[in-house]
Structure 1
Amino acid sequence: MSNIESKQFSFLKGINSEIQRGITLIRSHPSVNEILEVRLNTEDNSVDAVVAVQLGLPNKWMAEGKSPNGVSAIEAVTFSFPQSFPIHAPIVKLRADFDRSLAHVNPGSPEEAVLPCIYDGDINELLLFQGLLAIVDKYLPENVTDVGSLRERAKEFGCNKNFERAFSFLQQRLKWLDSKNATFPIAVILCVRRPFHLIGESSEIELVPYILEVGAPQLLAKDDKTPVWSAVHKYAITPQLLQTFSGERQLPENQDIVLIGCGSLGSKIAIHMARSGIAPSIVVDHKNLSPHNAARHALLPEAINKDSTWFGSKARATALAIKGLGQDSSYFDADVTQAVHDSKLLKKLFPRKAWAVINTTASLTVREALAAIEAKKLPLRVIETSLFAEGKVGLMTIEGPGRNPNSVDLIAQAYELIRVSEKLRNAVFVAEDSTSYHVTGQGCGSRTMIISDARISMLAAPMATGISKMLAKGLPSTSGRILLGAVDEDDIGLSWTPVDVPPFHVVPINDDSSWTVRISEPAHQKILKDCANYPNVETGGILVGRIFQTQQAFVVTDVLPAPENSQRSRFEFVLGTSGNMLEKYLSSCNGALYCLGTWHSHLTDSGASNQDLQTAKKIANSRTLPSVLLIRTPVKYYAVSASIF
Structure 2
Amino acid sequence: MPGESLRAHAEHFLAVATRHPGCRAGRIIDAIKTSATVELDIDVELPLHMKPDGQSPNGVRNAETVQVVLGPSYPWSSPAFYLRTDFPRDLPHIQPDATDTLPRPCLLDGSQREFFFQFGMVEGGIFHLVDQLVIWLQHAAEGTLINREQGWEPTLRRDLANLMAIDAESCRTLVDRSGGHRIFRAGYIRLGAVDNRLSSGAAAMLHVSAERTRLKRADNDLFITRPGAESTLGSTVCCVVWPDKLPSGEQFIADTYLPETVTTLGALQNRANELRCGQNLRGMLEALERYFRGRALETPVPIGIVLCARRPFHLIGSASDIELLPYIVEVRATRGRNALFASGSDEPVAPATQLDVANPALLRNVSGAPETGSVAMLGCGSVGSKMAVHLARSGASITIASDQDLLMPHNLARHALTYCGPPRYKADALADELVRLGQEPQVHKGDLVQDLQSVGRRRGILTKQSTYAVNTTASLGVREALSLLAPQDVEPRLAEAALFGRGNGGFLLVEGKAHNPTLCDLVAELYATVDENRLRSLLCDPEHGLSEVQIGQGCSSLTMPMTDMRLSAMTAALTETLVEVMQHGDGNGEIAVGHTAENAPDTGWSRRSVAPFHVIPIQSTPGWTMRVSQRVLDQMRAEAKRWPASETGGVLIGKCSVRLKAVTVVDLLPAPPDSVRSETLFTLGTNGLKQAIIARHRATGGALFDVGTWHSHLDDHGPSARDWETARELGSGRPPPSVLLIVTPERLHAIMHAEGNCGP
Which of the numbers 738, 749, 752 marks the counterpart of 1:627?
A: 738
Which of the numbers 360, 368, 378 marks the counterpart of 1:239?
A: 360
C-alpha separation in 2, matches of 1:34 and 1:425: 75
| Aligned equivalent of 2:723 | 612
Shift of 1:83: 6.2
Which of the numbers 395, 409, 412 marks the counterpart of 1:277?
A: 395
C-alpha separation in 1, matches of 2:291 and 2:445: 49
C-alpha separation in 2, matches of 1:426 and 1:280: 35
Question: Which letter maps to 2:445?
Answer: D
Contact 1:613 1:640 (8 Å CA) reproduced = yes
1:204-263 deviations in Å (ceiling 9; x for gaps): 343323223343433333344433322122333333333333445667xxx763221111
C-alpha separation in 1, matches of 2:10 and 2:524: 66
| Aligned equivalent of 1:208 | 325
| Aligned equivalent of 2:462 | 350
Shift of 1:527: 0.8
C-alpha separation in 2, matches of 1:95 and 1:488: 64
Question: Which letter maps to 2:45?
Answer: G
Contact 1:545 1:555 (8 Å CA) reproduced = yes
Alignment of 1:45-444 (within 5 A): 48-59=37-48, 62-67=51-56, 71-82=60-71, 88-128=77-117, 132=125, 135-136=129-130, 137=132, 139=136, 142-164=260-282, 166-167=284-285, 170-171=288-289, 174=292, 176-177=294-295, 183-216=300-333, 217=337, 218-247=339-368, 257-301=375-419, 306=420, 308-309=421-422, 311-339=423-451, 341-351=453-463, 354-378=466-490, 380-418=492-530, 420-434=531-545
C-alpha separation in 2, matches of 1:287 and 1:597: 40
C-alpha separation in 1, matches of 2:606 and 2:426: 32
Cα 1:338–1:55 shift into 2, 3 Å:
same
Q: TM-score normalized by structure 1? A: 0.84
Cα 1:630–1:105 shift into 2, 3 Å:
same
Contact 1:104 1:142 (8 Å CA) reproduced = no
Shift of 1:274: 2.0
Contact 2:448 2:478 (8 Å CA) reproduced = yes
Instruction: Tell me which moved more, 512-521 or 80-89.
Output: 80-89
Shift of 1:314: 1.3
Unaligned runs of 5+ in 2: 141-258
Q: Find the residue that maps to 1:337 and give its secondary structure.
A: helix
Q: Find the residue that maps to 1:638 and give its secondary structure.
A: strand
2:627 aligned with 1:509? no
1:530-566 deviations in Å (ceiling 9; x for gaps): 1111111121112112223321222111212222232
C-alpha separation in 1, matches of 2:56 and 2:523: 74
C-alpha separation in 2, matches of 1:104 and 1:385: 49
1:437-489 deviations in Å (ceiling 9; x for gaps): 89xxxxx951512222222222222333333344445x522x21111123345
Q: TM-score normalized by structure 2? A: 0.72
Which of the numbers 486, 497, 502 marks the counterpart of 2:595?
A: 486
C-alpha separation in 1, matches of 2:540 and 2:324: 61
C-alpha separation in 2, matches of 1:518 and 1:486: 28
Cα 1:631–1:59 shift into 2, 3 Å:
closer
Question: Which letter maps to 1:410?
Answer: L
Which of the numbers 643, 646, 653 marks the counterpart of 1:544?
A: 653
Q: Find the residue that maps to 2:480 and give its secondary structure.
A: helix
Contact 2:6 2:70 (8 Å CA) reproduced = no
Shift of 1:609: 3.8
* Count of residues in correspondence between the two structures: 615
Question: Which letter maps to 1:519?
Answer: V
C-alpha separation in 2, matches of 1:549 and 1:402: 22
Shift of 1:332: 1.1
Cα 1:190–1:600 shift into 2, 3 Å:
closer
Contact 2:508 2:578 (8 Å CA) reproduced = no
Contact 1:437 1:446 (8 Å CA) reproduced = no
Q: Find the residue that maps to 1:37 and give its secondary structure.
A: strand
Shift of 1:48: 4.5
C-alpha separation in 2, matches of 1:232 and 1:114: 18
| Aligned equivalent of 1:497 | 606
C-alpha separation in 2, matches of 1:13 and 1:492: 55
Contact 2:500 2:544 (8 Å CA) reproduced = no
C-alpha separation in 2, matches of 1:240 and 1:82: 40
1:308-333 deviations in Å (ceiling 9; x for gaps): 43x11111222222222222211111
Q: Find the residue that maps to 1:191 and give its secondary structure.
A: strand
Alignment of 1:577-592 (within 5 A): 577-579=686-688, 580-592=691-703
Question: Which letter maps to 1:476?
Answer: D
Shift of 1:96: 4.2
Question: Which letter maps to 2:329?
Answer: L
Shift of 1:58: 4.0
1:100-121 deviations in Å (ceiling 9; x for gaps): 4433333335554333333344
Cα 1:153–1:389 shift into 2, 3 Å:
same
Contact 1:409 1:555 (8 Å CA) reproduced = yes
| Aligned equivalent of 1:468 | 579
| Aligned equivalent of 2:27 | 36
Instruction: Tell me which moved more, 524-533 or 567-576.
Output: 567-576
Shift of 1:644: 7.9
Cα 1:591–1:318 shift into 2, 3 Å:
same
Question: Which letter maps to 1:367?
Answer: R
Cα 1:459–1:59 shift into 2, 3 Å:
same
C-alpha separation in 2, matches of 1:259 and 1:229: 43
Shift of 1:173: 5.4
| Aligned equivalent of 1:441 | none
Question: Which letter maps to 2:656?
Answer: I
Contact 1:379 1:403 (8 Å CA) reproduced = no
Cα 1:631–1:171 shift into 2, 3 Å:
closer
Which of the numbers 518, 529, 536 marks the counterpart of 2:627?
A: 518
Contact 1:404 1:503 (8 Å CA) reproduced = yes
Contact 1:543 1:595 (8 Å CA) reproduced = yes
Question: Which letter maps to 2:682?
Answer: F
Shift of 1:67: 4.8
C-alpha separation in 1, matches of 2:57 and 2:646: 102
Question: Which letter maps to 2:514?
Answer: G
| Aligned equivalent of 2:212 | none
Shift of 1:391: 1.6
Instruction: Tell me which moved more, 80-89 or 185-194.
Output: 80-89
C-alpha separation in 1, matches of 2:318 and 2:755: 65
C-alpha separation in 2, matches of 1:237 and 1:76: 43
| Aligned equivalent of 1:6 | none
Superposed CA RMSD: 3.5
Cα 1:520–1:17 shift into 2, 3 Å:
farther
C-alpha separation in 1, matches of 2:116 and 2:596: 37
2:592 aligned with 1:601? no
| Aligned equivalent of 2:159 | none
Contact 2:7 2:31 (8 Å CA) reproduced = no
Contact 1:400 1:406 (8 Å CA) reproduced = yes
Question: Which letter maps to 1:533?
Answer: R
C-alpha separation in 2, matches of 1:589 and 1:298: 32
